[in-house]
Structure 1
Amino acid sequence: MTGSSIPTVTGPVESYVAIGDSFTEGVGDPGPDGTFVGWADRLAGMLAAQAPPGFRYANLAVRGRLLGPIVAEQVPRATALAPDLVTFCAGGNDILRPGSDPDALAEQYEKALVQLLTRVGTVVVCTGFDTRGVPVLRHLRGKIATYNTHLWALADRHHCPVLDLWSLRSVQERDAWSEDRLHLSALGHERVARRCAEALGVEAAAPSSPVPPPAALTAAPSLPAAGPRSPAAARRDDLHWARHHLLPWIGRRLRGQSSGDHVEAKRPELLPL
């Protein structure tokens, strides 16, 4: 299934609010000033290019957030802002937790979706990535697929467009991911923004502000070169990743800490882009 099977937006989008976790905040895609850009900011640039003057955008996403806090904190705020469009990407961090239940998560997601639709013109439902090629996370593929199936069903039930990340083959390439293998690179974020624009029926012929020019959309320099690797090189890459990214991530989980502790939303107000 792809986003094109769900009704797209009608008319120009004049206001957009993004809610979610590190994926929507844009982690892995640093801008010139050190703040993250990310696919939602890039999508906002595409929408602004086609909207009447005065297009407004807010990004409430915060890295590390679980579905519960997103529903409790970001959903009411987005509902109160009553924009034309909301992208709702949440639940991925919950799926990573042992013992999480994708059925229960989907029920919680749907209640929040219904709340958003009381005031929001269009809500985009976001599926999870296919992790079959990701060390450790490949073992969660079944739970992600179950959650995605629920998301497709509720999107159909509530007539919402879908940002289908599971079938987006271009983000299964190594250059679409940052060194930590958990967050997209600038190139990956650009590909997601274009997929979301496609799901909305929005023209995305060229990036626009605040999107960097295409020449800047390259993979992180620290990523290993694309192409075949020897088994020894693959093991070295995996050990480097485990030492510098996986073990610190596990340590935070054991300590009950989050990368988003003490982090505020980067665009909390619905303001002109």
Structure 2
Amino acid sequence: MGTHEYRRYVALGDSQTEGVGDGDDRTGLRGWADRLAEHLAEAAPGVGYANLAVRGRLAAAVRAEQLPAALALRPDLATVVAGVNDLLRPGFDADETGGHLEAVFAALTGEGVRVATLTFPDVGRITPLARPLAPRVHALNDRIREAARRHGVVVAETAHHDVVTDPRLWSADRLHASPLGHARIAAAVADALALPGSDDAWTRPLPPRPVPGALRAAAGEVAWAGSFLGPWLLRRVRGRSSGDGRAAKRPDLLPVDPAGGLAGSGAAGR
């Protein structure tokens, strides 16, 4: 499909696609999907963009809640990025999660939609306390690749590049990308889709930075555990999600301003 044909872009997923880490709930979230929509608009003015992603959503919820809404919008381009919330759960099953994602891929491509997704970095390289999750990340990435291959889905292989685990690409909670990280994700997806003006610059490392000493690094781990890991575990124990009571920030196809001001995006309606 030619780039000029991308006139209706719909993003499905969880907090990363919603834009958590790039802005806030008071001023509004931007995020990589918004940035990708802006890139599309530079090449094809008049493109419409909807973002159905909601933080905390599991792959099953993306399939059950977001897929019908996405199909109703009749997109010609969709991005589907989910599964991290699943792999953080004690009962994670890579085949089950991959099956939900594959069902979304199949339904969208079956309607002639161009679909893009991405693989995930090893979270253990972002925070040492998450190292036991590495096998889960690799298993999920394998299922995503297999499903994508079967359905002709474009994959942005972010997992293959060291830069994606640079701390500067991640927010303080180490679960969500920083503004710079969201910009790199958008660039990776644009590159995978071969959009005009895209290239592999997103794979290049950032300038060197001072490496913290062992004592400072250990203090940082303790601070992170108290500020972010503890509250996250408490929500799990209580059976709550960060997305409880939230709706999609941009449920309708609305015009995109390539300068960065998306009509209808932001904190309103949350």
User: If the length of structure 2 is used for normalisation, what is the TM-score?
Assistant: 0.86
What SS does the aligned partner of 2:97 have? helix
> Which of 109, 119, 137 is the matching residue for 2:130?
137
Q: CA deviation at 1:135?
A: 2.6
Deviation at 1:164, TM superposition (A): 1.8
Q: Indicate conservation of the 8 Å contact 1:131/1:140, yes or no.
A: yes
In the superposition, relative to structure 1, how do residues 35 and 168 fare at CA in structure 2: closer, same or farther (>3 Å)? farther
2:63 to 65, 71, 90: 71
Partner of 1:172: 165
Identity %, equivalent residues: 43
Corresponding position: 1:159 with 2:152: yes
The structure 2 residue matched to 1:91, chosen from 83, 90, 112, is: 83
The letter of the residue matching 2:253 is L
Equivalent residues of 1:17, 1:59 under 8 A apart: yes
1:21 paired with 2:14, answer yes
Contact 2:14-2:56 at 8 Å conserved across structures: yes
Give me the whole-angstrom Cα distance separating, in 2, the residues matched to 1:147 and 1:265.
25
Structure 2 residue aligned with 1:265? 248
What is the aligned partner in structure 1 of residue 39 from structure 2?
Answer: 46
Q: 1:253 to 1:47 in 2, by over 3 A?
A: same
* 1:104-123 equivalences in 2 (<5 Å): 104-123=96-115
Equivalent of 2:188 in 192, 195, 214: 195
Query: How far apart are the structure 2 equivalents of 1:41 and 1:90?
Result: 17
- Report the AA paired with residue 238 of structure 1: E
CA contact (8 A) 1:60 1:267 kept: yes
Residue aligned with 1:78, SS: helix
2:50 aligned with 1:58, yes or no? Answer: yes
1:247 matched residue in structure 2: 230
Shift of 1:15: 1.3
Amino acid at match of 1:66: L
Contact conserved, 1:88 with 1:124, CA < 8 A, in 2?
Answer: yes
Partner in structure 1 of residue 263 of structure 2: none
From the superposition, tell whether residues 245 and 164 of structure 1 become closer, same or farther in structure 2 (CA, over 3 Å). same
Structure 1 residue ranges (4+ consecutive) displaced by more than 4 angstroms after TM superposition: none
Name the residue aligned to 2:264. none
Distance in 2, matches of 1:35 and 1:264, equals 14
Aligned residue among 96, 121, 126 for 2:118 = 126
1:6 maps to none
2:240 maps to a residue whose letter is Q
C-alpha distance 94-128 of structure 1, shift in aligned 2 (>3 A) = same
- What CA distance in whole angstroms lies between the structure 2 residues aligned with 1:188 and 1:181? 11
Change (3 A) 1:257 1:31: closer
Q: C-alpha distance in 2, partners of 1:123/1:248?
A: 35
Gaps of 5+ in 2: 200-207, 257-270
Shift of 1:176: 0.4
Distance 2:198 2:3 in 1: 18
Which structure 1 segments of 5+ residues have no match?
Answer: 1-8, 207-224
Secondary structure (helix, strand or coil) at the match of 1:184 reads: coil
The separation in 2 between residues aligned to 1:33 and 1:148, in whole angstroms, is 33
Partner residue of 1:210?
Answer: none
Cα deviation 1:94-147 (Å, max 9, x = unaligned):
011012110121122212211112224201122222223123322111111111
> For structure 1, which segment, 132-141 or 145-154, has the greater mean C-alpha deviation from structure 2 after superposition?
132-141
Alpha carbons of structure 1 residues 266 and 168: separation in structure 2 relative to 1, 3 Å: farther
Contact 1:79–1:120, Cα closer than 8 Å, also in 2: no
Distance 1:120 1:18, change over 3 A: farther
Q: Which deviates further from its counterpart, 33-42 or 124-133?
A: 124-133
- Count of matched residue positions in the alignment of Structure 1 and Structure 2: 247
- Which deviates more from structure 2 when the two are superposed, residues 25-34 or residues 76-85? 25-34
Query: Is the contact made by 1:59 and 1:265 (CA closer than 8 Å) also made in structure 2?
Result: yes
